[in-house]
Amino acid sequence: MTAILETTGGLFPPHTYLVEGTDLVAYIRAGTDQPYYFKRPIKGFSKSGRKFTEVKPNPFTVVEGIVEVNTAVLRVQGSKPDVWYTVDTEQNTCTCPGYTFRGACKHIKQLEPA
């Protein structure tokens, strides 16, 4: 996953975009540090007519299908490679269908200490 900062200026605020290949996965509004993840990535994100610079070091590096958003919130890769869920480790909640219907899921269990 690559983090890129909008540097076009003018009408475009300096949002940060999280891109996986050519797919837009999330964005971080200018002036905030909390990413907004899309339920499904936006395919074929175009940089046409705009300027960007890569954010280094990238705070959103994927390690074994998990991205740390902040100390309490993680993004966890689902069974399909293009599906991600948000797990709140303090609230023990997940955005996956399993948690939505059953109130428990494998994503929370895989993050619990052994």
- The pLDDT, as a whole number, for residue 34 is 75
Residue among 86, 112, 111, 81 at smallest CA distance from 99: 86
The answer to whether 36 and 17 are in contact (CB under 8 A) is: no
Question: Domain-by-domain residue ranges, the chain?
Answer: 1-60, 62-114
pLDDT digits (tens, 9 = 90+) for 28-40: 888 887 778 887 7
In residues, how long is the chain? 114
CB 24 within 8 A of CB 39: no
For 64-112, how does the pLDDT look when each residue is reduced to its tens digit (9 = 90+)?
566 666 667 788 888 877 788 888 888 888 888 888 888 888 888 877 7
Stated pTM of the model: 0.55
